Structure 1
């Protein structure tokens, strides 16, 4: 079965051979879910949804509907185990599929449950936030958090299809909509400049196309895929240190500004390029200052748990003469000095 692509729907291919898939971006694409599942030959589905019934599409096959625990506090191994138990009680088999409808925490947790249950069921993602549409739903990374850090337990499990319905974006609160621009802003420094001012569907498509090209070249983070972590090392630390008061996209935005300052301190870029980091983030309406509260020592403690770290010192993706690249062995003293010099937001 083939699906026609209307003129107002963008389509990006993640080229991974037999594991390759389409990302379709545009208004109303959620309604193509029955055709997607029919193409996969699915008999039944488990729909893990963070959205109300009127925004959860009919899968076109008998389905178990499970209300999601959308939010970082729901990204736990206990929730993944509960999902797998519900799949088992419903009688889901390898001839069936999982559908995730919600933000990045929903696609992460449901995607990990799909990867683990029966050693892998097809999963179709319907990301409903801007953040999830530009990043979390694409690339096959699924993970949950531990008290010790973010996304420390997970698996690579590529979706069978991703449906980025832009109609969902009109339902988002202002802060959640702005949150998604953190991932878009950092694209400026890893291969997709010039996204500011484009229609949102074009911003999503360009961000997804960049990620798709990187994932196709390095599916399992052995090299180039590290670029996608630009701004994330400090971003993840800020999320944890503030009890997720700082949201993911906001953390990545602040982390991007920090990455420019750290690259300047290490002599990798000049002052103008470092300032460009702040200017781009600010132009997207995102925070550029560290929040009040977490100390440099506390933030560095969380950075020590970062998955990119190899050997002594800390690891960051930083801009440089040849563009962004993974830099390892960065001294904690250098990081602390840059953190101390960054402006802080006023206490709330």
Structure 2
């Protein structure tokens, strides 16, 4: 549904259905979203300054947080749950998250676990979170052994994607968010290049909503959303998160095209299209020079999808699908053949995006 400058997309999950509202100023719909949960009080967990957070319309506690993979841990979830308990939060109350994808993940998991589940409303402030992380109900935190290894499914009550927040993002963080948009090209969202940003967000969310409605708990079809993510998650770990999630998924998308080509699933022209789409958004396409191929393969073997050997979501004659038991040597050879970029610094800065 489109109303003025706002677009509303429903994630249809029967009694757990909710709306994702996209557009400028939609953060000010927070009191309405909270009222629909029936909450008497809320805890607002925010990685953004208090003045960025609208009044939720009920008594509230503001808890500061930090975006970033290094804070996306069980220790963070425990601290949040302790603050909920100190405030006296009950199952008749709610939690509000304000921040990027790591914040929506951590806060969503805390909300899912506290009292075995309290309502949560997400106000994602990064492009990556608006396009992907805040929608679909996946909540998880990291372990030293890998990304998103501890989590559950807990659908939000509402998601408010205020595009005004995006004007506050550093350029690199904004570009990184396009990593999730770029991969949507290969999972059925169509060609989003050239569309206004709010339409790219809406189209990406609409495609995710369709997939989640078909497969809420990753039993099959939802694996499509992991396009580019198997290598992407491994790159995040291998660079100690110097590469952002979006940048890593972008490189993973290029790799997915090359691997599909190496397996004879797609022609050379389609392989090249992966590179063209990712480059269009100004995203990196080459492996960092410092990462080790064997190390990446070992990290990919820890991926949640890898129940039958190395497993990837790959393009093919009928579109993207889950491909299990991909030969290890083909994966290693494809990685070895990829271009290399200059070394990634601890702050994530690179000399170029080859």
CA distance in 1, matches of 2:315, 2:156: 31
Question: 1:194 and 2:191 equivalent?
Answer: yes
Give the SS at the match of 1:22.
strand
Instruction: Identify which of 143, 151, 162 aligns with 1:154.
Output: 151
Q: 2:61 corresponds to which residue?
A: 64
Range that drifts further, 164-173 or 290-299 = 290-299
Give the SS at the match of 1:329.
coil
Instruction: Identify which of 166, 178, 182 aligns with 1:181.
Output: 178
C-alpha contact (below 8 Å) 2:287/2:341 kept by paired residues = yes
Instruction: Identify which of 319, 337, 341 aligns with 2:333.
Output: 337
Alpha-carbon shift at residue 56 of structure 1 (Å) = 1.3
CA distance in 1, matches of 2:78, 2:50: 24
Alpha-carbon shift at residue 58 of structure 1 (Å) = 1.2
Alpha-carbon shift at residue 53 of structure 1 (Å) = 1.6
CA distance in 1, matches of 2:263, 2:2: 47
Structure 1 segments unaligned to the other structure (5+ residues): none
CA distance in 1, matches of 2:162, 2:187: 25
Alpha-carbon shift at residue 5 of structure 1 (Å) = 6.9
The aligned length equals 344
Give the SS at the match of 1:314.
coil
Structure 2 segments unaligned to the other structure (5+ residues): 344-349
CA distance in 2, matches of 1:285, 1:188: 15
Q: 1:291 corresponds to which residue?
A: 288
Instruction: Identify which of 197, 201, 205 aligns with 1:204.
Output: 201
CA distance in 1, matches of 2:195, 2:330: 37
Instruction: Identify which of 277, 298, 306 aligns with 1:280.
Output: 277
Instruction: Identify which of 131, 134, 138 aligns with 2:135.
Output: 138
C-alpha contact (below 8 Å) 2:50/2:62 kept by paired residues = no
CA distance in 2, matches of 1:216, 1:38: 25
Alpha-carbon shift at residue 69 of structure 1 (Å) = 2.3
Q: How does 1:69-88 map to 2 (within 5 A)?
A: 69-88=66-85
Question: 1:248 and 2:222 equivalent?
Answer: no
Root mean square deviation of aligned Cα = 1.0
Q: 1:268 corresponds to which residue?
A: 265
Using the size of structure 2 for normalisation, the TM-score is: 0.96
**Which whole-Å deviations, capped at 9, do the CAs of 1:157-206 have from their partners, x for residues lacking one?**
00000000000000000000001100000000000121011111100000
**Which whole-Å deviations, capped at 9, do the CAs of 1:226-254 have from their partners, x for residues lacking one?**
00000000000000000000100000000
Give the SS at the match of 1:124.
strand
Q: 1:123 corresponds to which residue?
A: 120
Alpha-carbon shift at residue 39 of structure 1 (Å) = 2.1
Q: 1:320 corresponds to which residue?
A: 316
Instruction: Identify which of 222, 236, 242 aligns with 2:219.
Output: 222
